[in-house]
A and B are shown apart, each in its own frame.
Chain A
Amino acid sequence: MRVANKGLVDRSKPVSFRFDGTSYAGFAGDTVASALLANEVRLMGRSFKYHRPRGVITAGSEEPNALITTGSGAQAEPNVRATVQEIYDGLVTRSQNAWPSLGFDVMAVNDLASGFLGAGFYYKTFMWPKKFWEAVYEPIIRKAAGLGALSGAHNPDTYERAYAFCDLLVIGAGPAGLMAALTAARSGADVILADEDALMGGRLNAETLEVAGKPGHIWAAETVAELAAMENVRLMTRTTVTGAYDGGMYGAVERVSQHRPLRGAAPLETFWRIAARQSILAAGALERPVAFQNNDRPGIMTASAVRSYLNRWGVSPGKQVAIFGNNDDAHRTARDLRAAGVHVAAVIDSRHDADIEGTDYPVYRGAQVCNSGGRMELESISLRTTSGIVNIQADCLAVSGGWNPTVHMTCHMNGRPTWSPAIQAFVPTVGSVPDMTAAGACNGVFSTHGCLEAGQQAAVAALGALGRKIAAVDLPQAEDSPYNLSPLWAVAGKGRAWLDFQNDVSVKDVKQAAVENFRSVEHMKRYTTQGMATDQGKSSNVMALAVLADATGRGIPETGTTTFRPPYVPVAIAAMGAGAQGKGFAPERLTTSHAQSVRMGAPMIEAGLWYRPSYFPRGDERTWRQSCDREVGFVRNTVGVCDVSTLGKIDIQGPDAAALLDFVYTNMFSTLKVGRVRYGLMLREDGHVMDDGTCARLGETRYLMTTTTAAAGAVMRHLEFVTQCLHPEWQVKITSVTEHWAQFAVAGPQARTLVNGLLDQPIDNESWPFMACGPATVLGVAGRLFRISFSGEHAYEVAVPARYGASLFGELVRRAEGLGGGAYGMEALNVLRIEKGHITHAEIHGRTTAFDIGMGRMVSDKKDCIGKTMSERPGLMDPEREQLVGLRPIGAVKQLSAGAHLFDSGAEAVAENDQGYVTSVGFSPDVGTFIGLGFVQRGPERYGEAMRMVDHLRGLEAEVEICAPVFVDPEGGRTRG
Chain B
Amino acid sequence: MRINCPICGDRDRREYYYQGAAVTLDRPAPDAEEAVWEDYLHLRENPAGRTRDLWHHEGGCGAWVVVTRDTVSHKIFEVALAADVKGAAR
CB of B60 within 8 Å of the partner chain: no
| Given A249-B1, A720-B64, A725-B64, also A869-B37 (CB < 8 A) | yes
Contact mask for chain B residues 52-90; partner A; CB cutoff 8 A; 1 contact, 0 none: 001010100011100000000011100001111011001
Among B2, B54, B58, the residue within 8 A (CB) of A725 is: B54
Assembly CA distance A944 to B75 (angstroms): 62
CB of B8 within 8 Å of the partner chain: no
Q: Which residue of A lies closest to B85 (CB)?
A: A725
CB pair A725 B82 closer than 8 Å: yes
Which chain A residues lie closer than 8 Å to B56 at the CB level? 717, 720-721
Which chain A residues lie closer than 8 Å to B3 at the CB level? 247
Which has the most chain A C-beta neighbours within 10 Å: B31, B58, B64?
B64
Give A433 Cβ to nearest chain B Cβ, in Å. Answer: 11
CB pair B2 A868 closer than 8 Å: no
Which chain B residues lie closer than 8 Å to A247 at the CB level? 1-3, 13, 74, 76
Which has the most chain B C-beta neighbours within 10 Å: A248, A720, A869?
A869
Those of A846-895 within 8 Å (CB) of chain B: 864, 868-870
CB of A724 within 8 Å of the partner chain: yes
CB pair B62 A275 closer than 8 Å: no
CB of B12 within 8 Å of the partner chain: yes
Those of A360-405 within 8 Å (CB) of chain B: none
Give B20 Cβ to nearest chain A Cβ, in Å. Answer: 11
Q: Which residue of A lies closest to B58 (CB)?
A: A717
Which chain A residues lie closer than 8 Å to B1 at the CB level? 245-247, 249
Contact mask for chain B residues 1-33; partner A; CB cutoff 8 A; 1 contact, 0 none: 111000000101100010100001101101110
Among A275, A726, A728, A864, the residue within 8 A (CB) of B2 is: A275
CB of A354 within 8 Å of the partner chain: no
CB of A685 within 8 Å of the partner chain: yes
Assembly CA distance A245 to B14 (angstroms): 14
CB of B43 within 8 Å of the partner chain: no
Number of CB contacts from chain A to chain B under 8 A: 68
Give A753 Cβ to nearest chain B Cβ, in Å. Answer: 43
Those of A700-730 within 8 Å (CB) of chain B: 717, 720-721, 724-726, 728-729
Which chain A residues lie closer than 8 Å to B63 at the CB level? 724
Among B17, B37, B64, B83, the residue within 8 A (CB) of A870 is: B37
Which chain B residues lie closer than 8 Å to A729 at the CB level? 87, 90
CB pair A413 B74 closer than 8 Å: yes
CB of A686 within 8 Å of the partner chain: yes
CB pair A248 B2 closer than 8 Å: yes
Which chain A residues lie closer than 8 Å to B37 at the CB level? 869-870
CB pair A728 B87 closer than 8 Å: yes
CB of A273 within 8 Å of the partner chain: yes
Give B47 Cβ to nearest chain A Cβ, in Å. Answer: 17
Q: Which residue of A lies closest to B11 (CB)?
A: A275
Assembly CA distance A569 to B17 (angstroms): 31
| Given A720-B62, A725-B54, A864-B30, also A246-B25 (CB < 8 A) | no
CB pair B87 A726 closer than 8 Å: no
8 pairs of A and B residues whose beta carbons are closest in the complex: A247-B2, A728-B83, A246-B1, A724-B64, A864-B30, A246-B74, A725-B82, A724-B83
- Given contacts A247-B3, A728-B84, 5 further A-B pairs with CB under 8 A are A720-B56, A721-B24, A724-B86, A725-B82, A869-B30
Q: What are 20 inter-chain pairs, A to B, with CB distance below 8 A?
A: A247-B2, A249-B2, A249-B12, A275-B2, A275-B12, A413-B74, A434-B75, A685-B40, A686-B41, A720-B64, A721-B24, A724-B63, A725-B24, A725-B83, A725-B86, A726-B86, A728-B82, A728-B83, A729-B90, A869-B28
**Residues on B facing A (Cβ under 8 Å):** 1-3, 10, 12-13, 17, 19, 24-25, 27-28, 30-32, 37, 40-41, 54, 56, 58, 62-64, 74-76, 81-84, 86-87, 90
